[in-house]
C-alpha cells in the first residue's frame, strides 16, 4: 500500500502540468458530435424528470380519493 501511495504521489504532480503548453487548436467534428450526443442524453433525462415533477405537483394539488368518493 505504501508503494502505491508513493507511486501515485510521484506521478500525480507530473501529470498536472502535462498539457500546460499545448497550443489552442480548432475543435474537430468529432468534438462537436460528442457534445451533441451529450446534449441529447441530458435532454433525454430531463424530459422524464419534468414529467415526474409535474405529476407530483398534480398529485399534491388534487383532492384525496376518499374525499371525492364521499360526495
Tens digits of per-residue pLDDT, 35-71? 999 999 999 999 999 999 999 999 888 877 666 666 5
Rounded distance between C-alpha atoms, residue 63 and residue 55, angstroms: 14
Q: What is the DSSP string of 1-20?
A: -HHHHHHHHHHHHHHHTTTT
| 6 has a pLDDT exceeding 90 | no
Amino acid at each position: 500500500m505504501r508503494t502505491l501511495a508513493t507511486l501515485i504521489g510521484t506521478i500525480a504532480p507530473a501529470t498536472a502540468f502535462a498539457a500546460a503548453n499545448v497550443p489552442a487548436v480548432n475543435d474537430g467534428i468529432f468534438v462537436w458530435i460528442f457534445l451533441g450526443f451529450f446534449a441529447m442524453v441530458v435532454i433525454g433525462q430531463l424530459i422524464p424528470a419534468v414529467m415526474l415533477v409535474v405529476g407530483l405537483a398534480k398529485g399534491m394539488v388534487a383532492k384525496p380519493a376518499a374525499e371525492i368518493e364521499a360526495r
